[in-house]
Chain A
Amino acid sequence: MATSTSWSTATVAEVDRPDGRLARVRLDVADRVAHRPGQHYVVRLRAPDDYTAQRSYSIASDPADPLVELMVERLPDGEVSGHLHDVLEPGDQLEVRGPLGGDWFTWAGETTAVAVGGGSGIVPIVSMLRYAARTGQADRLRVIAVGRSLDELPYAEELLAAGAFVALTRENLGSRVAAPPYPEEVRDLVDLPTPAERAYVCGSVGFASFATRVLGEAGMRVSEIRVEQFGASG
């Protein structure tokens, strides 16, 4: 599918920064084009002298949501994430472009899939999960969410409530001791109740190589693993 999108204006409807590490930004996008779960927007900031900075942010919202929701992690000294955290208020206008990313890293129920997200890499998977819940296809998408602690994992409560498998690496969760997902834990989700046909992996470079390796060991065909990498560079 080819999409042709141009810049449009988004008005900030809501900003939440529950703990200062994550900012949930909800945008009212002019002339909005419907997205597929997994796609992203580019946000461009413009200074009075026309200097601009632009960065990509995955869409967290379900396509049926009247607003576009982004979840932005604050990076130390980050130019764009810093502005979204420190300055942005409801009523502000931003330049945005999207949805982008074509069909590659998207899921709308075509296959049974397992989706593995690390840290802010969970954001596009949350869109898939919300879509699956609304369309009654929750059984076709198995989600593995990996974070350091519950506080640092975007959408942790929502993921747990939706039945996602959450692995924390720095903090125990119930009876599960802090650790990355074990091969057996991944294998269960890849295989049961029927083998997943496709896998999605999103997170930092290090996380993506870990997750693709574990999925491969769990029997997922490498050609069926689709990867989106972002976050700190590697």
Chain B
Amino acid sequence: MPVTRGFTGKRRGEAAGRSDRLPPGQYDVGREWPTLTAEATPHLDPEHWSITVDGLVEKPVTWSWRELHALPGDAYFGDIHCVTTWSRFDVTFAGVSVDVLLEAAGPLPEAAYVMAHSTTGYTTNLPIADLTGGKAWVVWEADGKPLSDEHGGPVRLLVPHLYFWKSAKWVTRLELMARDRPGFWEQNGYHDRGDPWLEQRYQGDP
């Protein structure tokens, strides 16, 4: 690919030293937290919110806001990466590990994929292996504060090792499936898996 005449790059100095934590094509957004949403931002009342794990499970389980908080809590501290090229370092999220939810519902042996559903109708698909083994959470707090509406409050999925569109905001349902099915952005040209370190941004990427 051609070199761009006259381009040297402005932001690289800032990335230096942290470049081992910056996936290719990403830049450090600092303490800002941009929001990107495809639909109108909903305001959800935690009292009327619940999350369900169903599909290919032994028994579907639904947790209310209160019931979810009664589960053993867990936290993530680390980096997040958005496909629109910003990365944010050292974010703390508090919630519960997806492992705890899946264990309660008992995935059937044929369950290999998960579709995360949001109240807005947004969906995103993941291999079950990307949600298990301490790699994914449902969270209600970011940097010590309740998750705001625009960042997916009251509760969002958090899958920090994949691009952030996989971390569905306003999540209310995890549906276990035998076969993969593209979610919202995946139908709209984005990559099926979205690993930032492999730059899996759009369909056709490695």
A→B interface (CB under 8 Å): 1-7, 9, 44-48, 51-56, 77, 79, 82-83, 87, 89, 92-95, 97, 100-105, 205, 208-209, 212, 216, 222-223, 225-230, 233-234
Mark the stretch among B26-34, B70-78, B170-178 that contacts chain A: B26-34
B48 within 8 A of A: no
Alpha-carbon distance A54/B7, docked complex (angstroms): 12
Which of A82, A89, A209, A233 is close to B29, meaning CB atoms less than 8 Å apart? A233
Chain B residues close to A by CB (< 8 Å): 1-12, 25, 27, 29, 32-42, 84-86, 121, 150, 182, 184-185, 187-190, 202-204
B-side binding surface: helix, strand, loop or mixed?
loop
User: Once the chains are docked, how many angstroms separate the CA of A225 from the CA of B38?
Assistant: 9
Q: Are A9 and B1 in contact (CB under 8 A)?
A: yes
* A92 and B121 form a contact (CB under 8 A): no
Partner of A205, one of B5, B10, B34: B34
Q: DSSP majority for the A interface?
A: mixed
Complex Cα gap A227–B39 (Å): 5
Q: 9 interchain pairs (CB within 8 A)?
A: A45-B9, A46-B2, A51-B9, A95-B1, A95-B4, A100-B202, A101-B189, A208-B37, A229-B36
Contact between A233 and B4, CB atoms less than 8 A apart: no
Selected contact of A45 from candidates B7, B32, B121, CB within 8 Å: B7
Contact call A93/B2, Cβ cutoff below 8 A: yes
- CB-CB under 8 A from B188, the residues of chain A are 1-2, 101-104
